[in-house]
Chains A and B, each alone.
Chain A
């Protein structure tokens, strides 16, 4: 089916151009797969050259990252170094040159590991209409309406907390290394006060229809030391808060069984 490609100078114009037969083209790693597969659900590709989508800007204790910033740019950026490990979890080097922060928000299971990192860093998402919302709200809407429908929302930037040195951890578990699809990924922001966790945020990728936070694990870590005794309640709580599904990489049962193992390794800093 013939496609048309529309390029707009501003994100607002591109947002207005999105409609039922349109898909937004950001980096292209998701959309071009569908184009190449002959997907007939859309006939128009909408893109923008708006330079604001490529900005990385500190704002007080937070960091604003344009939705068009690529994973390679995250890895190269000094400001984003706490996110480098999560960015490296996306595809291979060539994919990371194209894959964007905004696109990862709409990557369907088992992809979207970078979004798990954003979740753990208290991310908010701003759309081209200027509305800012918590990332979990966008993901809830995505789970309800489907990624391709929600993708008609043109995200312009995300804002994340800037964690103190050494308090943010990320791990991706895959059968093939260094590039493999997730069995699961875990992101944990673990602020410490007097050697004990205060205000933990823990998120999982590939453990539900979208990346998800795990409030029960976060509560179980509150006031605890990051040692085998301190983390035991969190490990006991982890399996119940997950909604894994079967796929070609792993069964839901397997994912649930190994979640405490990998959470323990992440929390204790084990390889």
Chain B
């Protein structure tokens, strides 16, 4: 099977990997690079579990042809925390019990990160819109919305988990 070299920046680190032609970015990240934070859900663009940021914007890794990300800056949950401290969003998700089974959490975090980067003070409606492509079957969404709003309002700061 033909393989092609693809280079991109992953969480600030230059990364080069050989990919099978036609492979999606999710498989490349999980199997090629070993970053298991983007989750494999529906592989159809319906659940948002594989959401990453490419160039700061939310993207579905499962629907992204690997060849299209050459030279791109890709961010996953693995790059959120810094120096052992959680990102404020991760902290807020803990505080607000915004994760139960946790399978949607990494996608939710990246969708929220994309929102807050673009709109640091979103309305509740903007938060709802921002996570509308991400399914959660546990929480009923309200704790997730509250967690994101708490970061926007400066009520949650990152911390080192106990």
Chain A interface (Cβ < 8 Å from any Cβ of B): 2-5, 7, 25, 28-29, 32-33, 35-37, 45, 47, 72, 91-95, 97-98, 178-179
Contacts and interface: CB of A to CB of B under 8 A. Distances in A.
B96 interface: no
A147 to B, nearest CB: 16
Contacts of B128: 178
A107 B68 CA distance: 21
Nearest to A35: B22
B65 A93 contact: no
A32 B132 contact: no
User: In this complex, which of B43, B64, B65 has the most chain A Cβ atoms within 10 angstroms of its Cβ?
Assistant: B65
Interface stretch (B54-62, B79-87, B151-159): B54-62
A95 B60 CA distance: 7
Interface in B62-97: 62-65, 67-68
Interface of A is mostly: mixed
B129 interface: yes
B133 A32 contact: no
B132 A178 contact: yes
Interface in B121-139: 128-130, 132-134
Contacts of A4: 2, 21-22
Given A92-B48, A93-B129, A98-B60, A28 B43 contact: no
Given A28-B65, A92-B134, A33 B24 contact: no
A94 B107 CA distance: 10
B132 A45 contact: no
20 contacts: A4-B2, A5-B21, A7-B67, A25-B65, A29-B45, A33-B63, A35-B24, A36-B24, A36-B44, A45-B22, A47-B65, A91-B133, A93-B58, A93-B130, A93-B132, A94-B59, A94-B111, A98-B60, A178-B128, A179-B132
Given A25-B65, A28-B65, A28-B68, A97 B132 contact: no
Contacts of B37: none
Interface residues of B, number: 31
Given A92-B48, A92-B133, A179-B132, A32 B67 contact: no
Contacts of A36: 24, 43-44, 62-63
B59 A5 contact: no
B106 interface: no
Contacts of A92: 48, 132-134
B73 to A, nearest CB: 14
User: In this complex, which of A91, A94, A97 has the most chain B Cβ atoms within 10 angstroms of its Cβ?
Assistant: A94
Contacts of B105: none
B131 to A, nearest CB: 8
B114 interface: yes
Interface in B1-47: 1-2, 4, 20-22, 24, 43-45
Contact of A179 (B51, B59, B67, B133): B133
